[in-house]
Amino acid sequence: MATIPEEPSKSESEIDVPSHNSDLLNERHPLKRTWTLWYLNDKKNLDWLQRLHDVCSVDTIEDFWMLIRNVRPPSRLNNTCDYNVFRDHIRPVWEVPENKSGGRWLINIDRSKHPELIDVIWMEILIAMIGEQFGEDSEQICGIVCNIRSKGSKISVWTRDASDEEANKRIGQTIKEKLVNAELPEHISGPVFDTMRYEDHDDVQQKNSSQIKSKLIISSTGN
């Protein structure tokens, strides 16, 4: 399990204060960056960009958890919808400068496994990202995407430089470590993924789906 940001708990002495201390209720613990949730709706008659909406931005731990509590988990989204959480007002689209030369670590979700598995993977990576668990590579990460699809849903982490192999490898290893060590509900048994692969956004846009080159591959059991 990722360690932060949990909702901050108060020590007993902090809680034991006069009941009208409203400062405690208003206390906010800042995140290092601002994170925005974007939602792609299922109105397939609209252009893709028109389906994409900015839902809410948060920059404190308390507001992050408030947001998570108030939106449906990925497993309860309609087919063809997406969630995106991107940092510092980066739009979750290929076209913007921050994503133009980037790529993604892609995890295909095994449909034969439990439907809630996607929620576990989503929260593990989301918490690691918001909690700056990628160390020196945090700046390389633009955001996380969840695609709900009947053919098999996907979660991907978008990084800004597809040619920075070393940074992307380290990011991939951190994602793997988070997922391999994830605490799973009793009714779900691991591993939560088989392989993750890194794809260049340029290749994804030009693709013939089954033939996208994987620049890097990490399996849950080997390297």
Binding site for ligand MGP (CB under 6 A): 48-49, 93-95, 147, 149, 209
Output the smallest distance, CB 89 to ligand MGP, in A.
16
Strand pairing class (216-219; 103-108): unpaired
In the bound state with ligand MGP, the residue whose beta carbon lies nearer, of 131 and 143, is 143
Q: Which is nearer to ligand MGP, 140 or 147 (CB)?
A: 147
Contact residues for 84 (Cβ-Cβ < 8 A; gap 6+): 37, 38, 39, 40, 52, 92, 143, 144, 145, 146
Nearest-CB residue for ligand MGP? 93
At residue 211, what is the residue type? Q
Strand partners, 52: 40
Compare residues 62 and 88 and give the one whose CB is closer to ligand MGP. 88
- The answer to whether 40 and 77 are in contact (CB under 8 A) is no
**Distances in Å between the alpha carbon of 100 and those of 55, 164, 203?**
23, 14, 12
Q: How far is the CB of 173 from ligand MGP (least distance, A)?
A: 24
- Closest contact distance (angstroms) between CB of 129 and ligand MGP is 18
Least distance to ligand MGP from the beta carbon of 85, Å? 14
In terms of CB distance, is 17 or 46 closer to ligand MGP? 46
